[in-house]
Structure 1
Amino acid sequence: MQCSYLDAGACRSCTLMGVPYPRQVAGKEERCRELLGEQPQLQWLPAVRSAESGYRNKAKMVVGGTARRPTLGILDAAGRGVDLRRCGVCTPGVRAALPVLARFISRAGLEPYDVPRRRGELKNVLVTESPDGELMVRFVVRSRGPVAAMRRELPRLLRELPNAVVVTANLLPEHKAVVEGDMEVPLTERTALRMRLGGVGMDLRPQSFFQTNSAVAEALYAQVAEWVDEVAPATLWDLYCGVGGFALRCAAPGRRVLGVEVSEEAVRSARASARTAGLRDVRFLAGDATRFALEADEAPDLVVVNPPRRGIGADLREWLERSGARHVVYSSCNPVTLAADLAAMPSLRPVRARVLDMFPQTSHVEVVTLLERAG
């Protein structure tokens, strides 16, 4: 993949750009194998590859420049905007939306936030595309001040960008290095983006996590569902469940499924998806996954964990090690913490593993493992 931004030195986020794609995948596989170590019982399945470009369904664009001439991309070392609206790893739908959103910013007079001077309103624009081509657009602003102008210009935006079905203003008043705030102001009637993968529909609301590569996410859900059906648990927990991708995909007649997620927004989305699908044996709870497990009266037959990069942590891995769960499926975006967690759970042996290249052109990787209790 060729990138004019990388060639010009404007952006260096894609650290593997220029490395032939087969070598990228082979390198990620080799690293994951080394971290998990030699284990005779462990079968490695062929890696799942991605499209090399146009795969990223979500763009997190920092807004710089001026309201009249905004930049959408990143900030340089001096806090000046660097425009990346033609970024090749974003889906074509996201790339097509960015110039339209830049014009909307100008018409609404949304002054970009000047980080060094701490002035201005508009900090970021977040765009997510569903597999059906619909968009969720979120404008991260410091206050409610610009909302009236955004509402005034919204009808024209929706005419120019009719696939933008969810538009919001997210409020982030603090001066700190985070992407979004806690409060969301809906600007459209719809407040959730429908993400359809493998026949399962999920409602994605603002502030809910979803995998950034839809095609590889579908392969990940399918792989986990295949392993789950193979061991046929009667009860299953999906911890760190997000909007319920694993829980919904693993539902089956006679199987009781429970998803636990700290984000109440994500849980609302997951519950709505389960209702729409008519899945009566799939429930979702809002709460801390580790605390839920520690306070539970008994363990399920199988536990799915999909933690953030830091891993599941000492308390949850100790609970899993001594629990009665016969199987664990661990999906990880950080093979370093995955290896550390597995080393602390010696009675749960990895028997299957697969690398999924969720993030081409970067060193990041997703790896999923099926663990089986020894004895």
Structure 2
Amino acid sequence: MQCDYFDAGVCRSCALMGVPYPTQLADTQRSVAAALHAHVPDELWDAPFSGPEQAFRNKAKLVVGGTRDAMTFGILDVAGQGVDLRHCGLYEPALAAAVPVLADLVAGSGLVPYDVPRRQGELKHVLVTASPDGELMVRLVLRSPGQLNRVRELLPLVREALPGTRVVSVNLQPEHKAVLEGDEELVLTAEQTLPMRLSSVTLHLRTRSFFQTNTVVAAGLYRQAQEWVGESAPASLWDLYCGVGGFALHLAAPGRDVLGVERSPEAVLSARTSAAEMGVAARFAAGDATSLLVDEPAPGYVVVNPPRRGIGSLAAWLEASGVPRVLYSSCNATSLARDLEAMPSLRVRRARVFDMFPQSSHAEVLVELARDGA
């Protein structure tokens, strides 16, 4: 992949830019395998799964900088000044077409970009997500609610210029710190969710829902889970850290008792919406899996998809639980290795790298664990 921003030295976010993609993929596989070598012998690795090396991102996280008369949409440099990246080559086609149009509309709205060094201004970020059907979710992160009327005035212009716009919201982030968004969200459209259609399953994303940024590879990850879990056909399954229900809904089957657990009530609501729309009997609960389920009888299969820090004390519970099989999806091989060390009775049966993040050294890893005889 070639990138004008990288070549000009204005953006170094893609650390592997210019490295041939087959080399990137091979190096990622070697790096992950090395981190997990104590638990995953070489013969247990399937070939890496990959998608396009460019035009794969379904989400743009644009830091707003510059001035009211010359806004930038992209990142900040080391001095806190805006760098415009509205034509980033990582965006999938619908997103790539929408971002420049949206940037022009926002720039003409009268909103004042937040100046990080001076701690002045209002508009901090513009967050845009594109669905496989070309629909959009647009979120504007403001410092305070004082500019809400400007955003409301902008809404019909956005929907006219970008007819696929389904959800528009304002997030309020009043603090001066390096966080993307705050706790308060105001949805300005009748539609509350962005449907993400993945083959047989449509996931509903609310404004603060997490979803993998690479739709093609996420779909491949879920298909692999269906294949591996389908071989043992468990009667009951828990999906812990379930988010909007990606694994749970792909693994639901007639007669199978499926329970998803997630801290975020908003994500649970999204998962329930999808389950009702699909007509599947999967159940979802909001709470901390490490405390909510410790006294429950173990199911036949557990899926975990934790944040980068891993599953922590849940590893000890799984080790002692008698659960025959575990599917672990990890975005951090280091924390995965630590968790595997804490579950010696659960041995890796197979593993695969999913290259969610081309042009970087980050990757998703899927491993299936089983007890002897399971």
Q: TM-score, normalised by structure 2?
A: 0.97
Per-residue deviation, residues 40-79 of structure 1 (Å, max 9, x unmatched): 5962111111201000101110000122221100001111
Aligned to 1:66: 67
1:14 corresponds to: 14
Query: For residues 243 and 119 of structure 1, what CA distance do their matches in structure 2 show?
Result: 36
Superposed displacement of residue 31, structure 1:
1.4
Following superposition of structure 1 onto structure 2, how do residues 306-317 of structure 1 map, counting pairs within 5 Å? 306-313=305-312, 315-317=313-315
Please tell me whether the aligned partners of residues 42 and 351 of structure 1 are also in contact (alpha carbons under 8 angstroms): no
Give the 3-state SS of the residue equivalent to 1:89 in structure 2: coil
What is the CA deviation profile of residues 292-322 of structure 1, one whole-angstrom value per residue up to 9, with x for unaligned ones?
A: 232x321111100001111111x10000111
Superposition pairs of residues 1-375 of structure 1, within 5 angstroms = 1-37=1-37, 39=40, 43-280=44-281, 282-294=282-294, 296-313=295-312, 315-375=313-373
- Count of equivalent residues: 372
State how far apart, in whole Å, the 2-side matches of 1:40 and 1:154 are: 54
- CA apart distance, 1:103: 2.2
Tell me if the contact between 1:67 and 1:105 (Cα under 8 Å) persists in the aligned partners. no
1:153 aligns to what SS in structure 2?
helix
CA distance in 2, matches of 1:101, 1:229: 43
Asked whether the 8 Å contact 1:42–1:353 carries over to 2, the reply is no
Answer yes or no: is the 8 Å Cα contact 2:48–2:355 preserved in 1.
yes
d(CA) in 1 for partners of 2:298, 2:43:
25
Q: CA deviation at 1:21?
A: 0.5
User: Is contact 2:33–2:42 with CA below 8 Å preserved after alignment?
Assistant: no
Distance in 2 (alpha carbons) for counterparts of 1:367 and 1:229: 19
- TM-score normalised by L of structure 1: 0.97
Q: Quickly say closer, same or farther: Cα 1:42–1:234, change in 2 above 3 A.
A: farther
| Aligned 8 A contact 1:238 1:259 in 2 | yes
* AA matched with 2:33: R
Equivalent residue letter for 1:23? T
CA distance in 2, matches of 1:374, 1:13: 44
| Partner deviation per Cα, 1:108-139 (whole Å, 9 max, x = no partner) | 21100001111100000001011111110000
SS at match of 2:145: coil
Please tell me the residue identity of whatever aligns with 2:182.
G
Following superposition, the deviation at residue 374 of structure 1 comes to 2.3
Contact map agreement 1:64 1:81 (CA 8 A) in 2: yes
Unaligned runs of 5+ in 1: none
Taking a change above 3 Å as real, the CA distance of residues 301 and 102 of structure 1, as seen in their structure-2 partners, is same
- Offset of 1:325 from its aligned partner? 0.6
The residue type paired with residue 16 of structure 2 is: L
Gaps of 5+ in 2: none
- Computed over aligned residues only, the root mean square deviation of the Cα atoms, in angstroms, reads 1.2
The 8 Å contact of residues 240 and 262 in structure 1, kept in 2 or not, is answered as yes
Range that drifts further, 116-125 or 40-49: 40-49
Aligned letter for 2:268?
V
Mapped partners of 1:12, 1:285: distance in 2? 40
SS of the equivalent of 1:145 reads helix
